Amino acid sequence: MISKENLELLCELSKLHLTEEEFAEYGKEMTDIISLMDTIGESDFEYNLIDTTNAVPFSELRADEIETFDNMKGIVDNGPQTVANQFVVPKIVD
């Protein structure tokens, strides 16, 4: 069973706002889904941090040469709100 506090934290971490009904519904579903996921708890395989099949030799990395993207305007034009070629958000206060 996923607790209310835990679900609230998940919503905060993933920046999702749920209405009260949604919250109840997701809470129930998440509980079911997590009990399906719990089957993995029965496994006891060792995780190997180092997996050389999934690695690339240092010498093969990309060379440090500038290639300029040809459609920067296209990127900025997609911004829902832009000013002076920058993306606008409500003022950040920290």
* Residue 52 phi, psi (nearest 5): -70, -15
- 70 with 78: CB under 8 angstroms? no
CA distance 11 to 18: 8
Task: Verify binding: residue 5, another protein, rule CB under 8 A.
Answer: no
Please give the residues from 49 up to 78 whose contact with another protein meets the rule CB under 8 A.
Answer: 49-59, 61-69, 71-72, 74-78
Q: To the nearest whole angstrom, how small is the minimum distance from the Cβ of residue 1 to another protein? A: 13
Q: To the nearest whole angstrom, how small is the minimum distance from the Cβ of residue 41 to another protein? A: 7
Task: Verify binding: residue 34, another protein, rule CB under 8 A.
Answer: yes
Burial of residue 7 (number of CB atoms within 10 Å: 0-12, 13-18, 19+)? middle
**Neighbouring C-alpha atoms within 13 Å toward the C-beta of 86:** 5
Task: Verify binding: residue 23, another protein, rule CB under 8 A.
Answer: no
Nearest to another protein of 1, 61 (CB atom): 61
Residue from 5, 20, 21, 42 binding another protein (CB under 8 A): 42
Task: Verify binding: residue 7, another protein, rule CB under 8 A.
Answer: yes
